[in-house]
Amino acid sequence: MKIKHISLLLIVLMIVPMSLSDTFASTPITAEGLAAVVGGNSAIARDQAVNDAQRKAVEQAVGTMISSQTVMENYEVLSDSIYSRTQGYIQNYRIVSEKQEGNLYYTTISANVATGELKNELSALGLLLARKSMPRVMIMVAEQNVGMEYYTYWWSALSGKGNVVAGHADLTVTENILMQKLSEKGFNIVDHSVMAKNVRLSKAYKIEALTDNAIQQAGSMYGAEVVIYGKALAKLAGSVKGTSMKSSQADLSLRVVNTDNGQVIASATHHAAAVHPSEVASGTEALKKAAEGIAEDLIGQIVSRWGREVSGSTMVQMEITGVGSYSNLVKFKQALKTSVRGISGVHQRSFTAGIALLDVESSGTAQEVADQLAITPFPGFAVEITNITQNTINMRMMSR
């Protein structure tokens, strides 16, 4: 019996999603708390000082994930939703030092703060997305349900296969579920039906299986910084023995990419089954279940990725044109490290015909880095910012 229990436990551990490691992530933080000693009762003051230190540890963790301005503007919301439940985010702590000076009691603690849970909470409040400048998300999922001969996909006015007018069809089941789940978490969703009035895609885009490059370009044309794309397929699995119920299996495979640099920030596959007296309805239910599961998975990955970027460092891609000489590029790289705040690493990718490509590790966003570059004096040359996206900066180098 014990062997069976151990085997079952191992199976459960094996099927736990890897993304859960981000949910339970923690960060060590040192914080100081203080409290007044009333009536000579130092024991109560000590407890209050420890609680104060725990709250400040959580506040410090929040401050690494969202800007100070966002904290100020949303302090009441943070107090009600997070700061009032401080101890719930402290996994463990130890008292580093404590002392009483007059009527004040001081404690310094080292605490492990559950940053994974904080990221999820901040995401639910929409504050983490605000720190990322509210990226616009577009959904491009080709879907084929039971009873359909071909995939349905909105980005083609005519599929070219039969009379399926995908561009004018209602949203697919998968897209509806994804939009609902993303909206609940505060994501900024691009309404492609509105944007389509001003955007025309060429025939090269009128296929269900677009290349990564085509996805990037389509997303950019529709004003999206992020695209969720892939396929959803529901197939009839057969009849449930002894009943009139029909069983269907749905398979979803989706990826999430930045449109400016093509970087994949999340990916997932999901499977689900459903039964229903109607074949089509069973396929629809299977698609709904699979979409709900994959939505939670993708949202978890995105939140974790963006949480790491705003609390740590993010990679900003730079393209510099007009670089007169390699020595100018060397000077520019040195100035990035010494004169621009938050730069922790500069990686040269290429230098050809006066054009340099750099990957820069920064604790700030591309916008914040560009703002600093615009006012930073460089030795013997100046730079002019020509374009900024969520993750990239384009600039031109000019001689003084």
Greatest Cα pair distance in the chain? 86
What is the number of domains present in the chain?
Answer: 3
Average pLDDT taken over every residue of the chain: 83
136 has pLDDT over 70: yes
Amino acid at 302: I
Q: How far is CA 131 from CA 135, 175, 315, 317, 387, in A?
A: 10, 26, 16, 19, 20
Residues 112 and 186 in one domain: no
Residues 16 and 71 in one domain: yes
Residues 198 and 346 in one domain: no
Residues 182 and 272 in one domain: yes
Conformation bin of residue 26: beta by default, left when phi > 0, alpha when psi is -120 to 50: beta
pLDDT per residue over 320-376, tens digit each? 999 988 988 998 999 888 888 888 889 999 999 899 999 998 887 888 889 988 888
User: Residue 18's pLDDT is what?
Assistant: 39
Asked whether the beta carbons of 175 and 141 are under 8 A apart, the reply is yes
Q: How far apart are CA 388 and CA 261, in angstroms?
A: 12
Among residues 91, 111, 129, the one where a domain terminates is 129
Residue 5 CA, chain-centre distance (Å), reads 37
Residues 283 and 162 in one domain: yes
7 has pLDDT over 90: no
pLDDT per residue over 383-396, tens digit each? 999 999 888 999 99
Of 384, 340, 380, 382, residue with least CA distance to 360: 340
Q: How far apart are CA 290 and CA 181, in angstroms?
A: 13
Q: How far apart are CA 381 and CA 400, in angstroms?
A: 5
Q: How far is CA 193 from CA 189, 232, 255, 259, in A?
A: 12, 20, 22, 19
User: Residue 8's pLDDT is what?
Assistant: 36
Q: How far apart are CA 34 and CA 45, in angstroms?
A: 8
User: Residue 344's pLDDT is what?
Assistant: 86
pLDDT per residue over 201-243, tens digit each? 666 666 777 888 888 888 888 889 999 999 999 999 888 877 8
Task: Give the DSSP H/E element, type plus range, for residue 373.
Answer: helix 366-375
Residues 171 and 307 in one domain: yes
Q: How far apart are CA 373 and CA 112, in angstroms?
A: 36
Amino acid at 153: Y
264 has pLDDT over 80: yes
What number is the average pLDDT over the span 142-154?
Answer: 89
Residues 230 and 300 in one domain: yes
Residues 205 and 239 in one domain: yes
Residues 149 and 283 in one domain: yes
Q: Which residue has the tokens 């401080």?
A: 86
User: Residue 262's pLDDT is what?
Assistant: 86
User: Residue 376's pLDDT is what?
Assistant: 86
> Residues of the chain with pLDDT > 70: what percent?
85
Cα-Cα-Cα-Cα dihedral sign, residues 172, 174, 180, 183: negative
Residues 156 and 193 in one domain: yes
Among residues 269, 284, 311, the one where a domain terminates is 311
Residue 90 DSSP label: E
Q: How far apart are CA 400 and CA 398, in angstroms?
A: 6
Asked whether the beta carbons of 213 and 221 are under 8 A apart, the reply is no
Give the contacts of 295 (CB within 8 A, at least 6 positions apart).
Answer: 177, 178, 181, 182
Among residues 311, 327, 342, the one where a domain terminates is 311
Residues 154 and 296 in one domain: yes
3-state helix, strand, coil in the chain (%, to 5): 40, 30, 25
User: Residue 321's pLDDT is what?
Assistant: 94
| Structural domain containing residue 139 | 133-311
User: Residue 3's pLDDT is what?
Assistant: 45
Amino acid at 49: A
Q: What CATH number corresponds to the domain at position 278?
A: 3.40.50.10070
Residues 143 and 196 in one domain: yes
Amino acid at 305: R
**Of how many residues is the chain composed?**
400
pLDDT per residue over 159-210, tens digit each? 344 333 433 445 689 999 999 999 888 888 988 777 666 666 666 666 777 8
Q: What CATH number corresponds to the domain at position 363?
A: 3.30.70
